[in-house]
Amino acid sequence: MTSQLEHAARTAFAQVLTAWRTRRGLSKKQLAASMGYHPSYISHVESLRHHPTFEFACRAEAVLASGGEIISRYEQCRQAAGEPAPVQVVRSDYEPSPMLPATLVIEEENATLTYADGWYSSRVERVVRNVGDRPVTCYPVRVDVDRFPDQPGVSRQLYHESPLQLSDLDFQASVASVGDERPEPMEVRVTRSSDAYLKMVLVFGNARARFPLYPGERTRVTYSYRVPANLWGQWFQRDIRFPTRALTMSLRLPASMGAEVSAESLSYAGIKGFSPTESPGENGTVVYTLRLRELLLTSQIRLRWRFDEPAPSGWADLAA
């Protein structure tokens, strides 16, 4: 039988949960989806029909970011019920990467680069799985360019005069459950910048809510940006910094430029060349595609090209 003290503690927990859910502008269904629970469970906790668990409180805190208030209220519930302190259990019901232990595994990546009207536009989609034992709240990315790789002095001067800035890239990022057509925008934070590159983290959250990637779960992260052709180059590169099961890189160029495209992989195992497939694209373009599986960590995959007709020249890098 529930004591008066326990009932008061559960009531306080439910009120705090409801208040933070309302503050974040989330319905019970939206909060449940973000936490990985059925919507009815949220209703039962808020109406005192269900006792909150430690896992429930942790997930609610991760999504609602109450500054610890939700966890504090849960502790009061636990103590009022006379329950022992929770024990952290490490998950073991997942298959770790055979390549190298990691928190994240990229199950599939599709990276596309398009040249049109004096701009290079990049779009990256990654299916990311959390194989760790704790929620993941952000994902690192990097934009790196170098138009004159063989002339470092010229390159430094170019980017010193025209440095990369996030506001100029039209950078956008979103996340959605695999198969879900309703992506959520991700907050973008620059962690380090130089004249020729930007390091960022994509936060699993925005001003409305947080939606961490929990252990065993997977999601689709998508981001895009564009760079003026005078700052870009003729290399498109992917650095393998997380275990990656499948990678597809596509390069879309005007057919009128008569591009010659090649590909290579650089790793501790050496340099290996590839021949991208070529197919006609829309609006007078040609699409060059490279597909690889089970890539080696720390390797670099490059598409490089040259034109029969005059066009922007140099080098560009896409990194995880």
User: CA 156, CA 138: separation in Å to the nearest integer?
Assistant: 31
pLDDT higher at 88 or 210: 210
User: CA 260, CA 232: separation in Å to the nearest integer?
Assistant: 17
Least confident of 107-121, 127-141, 226-240: 127-141
pLDDT at 316: 54
Domain 104-319 CATH class label = mainly beta
- Phi, psi dihedral angles at 171 (to 5 degrees): -75, 130
Asked if CATH classification 1.10.260.40 holds for the domain at 4-81, the reply, yes or no, is yes
pLDDT at 294: 76
pLDDT at 179: 73
pLDDT at 309: 58
pTM of structure: 0.72
pLDDT greater than 60 at residue 67? yes
Question: Two tokens at 19?
Answer: 């208040």
For residue 310, what pLDDT band results from cuts at 50, 70 and 90? low
For residue 97, what pLDDT band results from cuts at 50, 70 and 90? very low
pLDDT at 148: 84
User: CA 208, CA 26: separation in Å to the nearest integer?
Assistant: 8
For residue 241, what pLDDT band results from cuts at 50, 70 and 90? confident
For residue 307, what pLDDT band results from cuts at 50, 70 and 90? confident
Sequence ranges of the chain with CATH classification 2.60.40.3140 = 104-319
Least confident of 5-19, 47-61, 92-106, 300-314: 92-106
pLDDT greater than 80 at residue 178? no
Sequence ranges of the chain with CATH classification 1.10.260.40 = 4-81
* Per-residue pLDDT tens over the stretch 274-290: 999 999 999 999 999 99
pLDDT at 228: 93
pLDDT at 99: 37
Least confident of 106-110, 168-172, 241-245: 241-245
For residue 210, what pLDDT band results from cuts at 50, 70 and 90? confident
- DSSP secondary structure of 230-273: TT--SEEEEE--S-EEEEEEEEEEEGGG--EEEEEEEETTEEEE
Interstrand relation of 104-116 and 119-130 (parallel, antiparallel or unpaired): antiparallel
Helical packing angle, 28-35 and 39-46, nearest 10°: 110
Question: Which one of 97-106, 240-249, 292-301 scores highest in mean pLDDT?
Answer: 240-249
Q: What is the mean pLDDT of the chain?
A: 85
Q: Shortest CA distance to 70 belongs to which of 80, 85, 55, 90?
A: 55
